[in-house]
Structure 1
Amino acid sequence: MPKFLLIYHGKPDLQSPEDGAKHMAAWKAWSAGLGAAVIDPGLPVGLSKTITPQGVEDHGGANPAAGMTVLQADTFEEAIELAKGCPHLSGTGTIEIAEAMDLEM
């Protein structure tokens, strides 16, 4: 079954610690609801840097990553539907999705 990488960008709309707690509860419920589709629930990330042939850029460029998750689905369209329910999509949160390539390394 194909694997898909969800790369989170931006941030959800959190105005208070209570909003943060509600967001985490929603995130856990969404993730649990995905069941066996979740290969790796992932993790949030902090400030990033982008490495280019010319050097290192601070702050991860124009659209820095905020975290990631790996899931499996039969099709790209199914993976998109699973991702659409993610609570990260509040505020300025967006999700980049890419199918993992099955290559021997």
Structure 2
Amino acid sequence: MPHFLFAYHGGKTPETPEETEVEIDRWQTWFDEIGPTIVDPGNPVGMSKTVSADGVAEHGGSNPLSGYTIIHTESMEQAVALAKACPIIG
């Protein structure tokens, strides 16, 4: 079965413990929904740099990676359908 990488860009860092708890609950609900497909639930990404032929962009560049998840499913179409419910989107 093929593996797919969900690479997250953007998102908002919660500002209060209450907002953090709500965000954790949203992600946990989504992980529960897609559970059997998860290979690696991933993690948020910290400080980064983007390396390209043009050089190195500090702080991840103009669209830094903020996290990732790896899943396995039958097709790209199924992966896209699962990704549409990801908390970072809405």
TM-score (norm 1): 0.76
RMSD over aligned Cα atoms: 1.6
Alignment correspondent of 2:81? 81
- The gaps in structure 2 that reach 5 residues or longer are none
Share of identical aligned residues, percent?
Answer: 41
Query: Tell me, which stretches of 5 or more residues in structure 1 are unaligned?
Result: 91-105
Residue 63 of structure 2 corresponds to 63
Count of aligned pairs between the two proteins:
90
The two structures have a TM-score, normalised by structure 2, of 0.88
* Structure 1 segments (4+ residues) deviating >2 Å: 12-17, 52-56
Aligned-pair distance for 1:76? 0.6
**Helix, strand or coil for the counterpart of 2:88?**
helix
CA distance in 1, matches of 2:2, 2:55: 34
Structure that is richer in strand per residue? 1
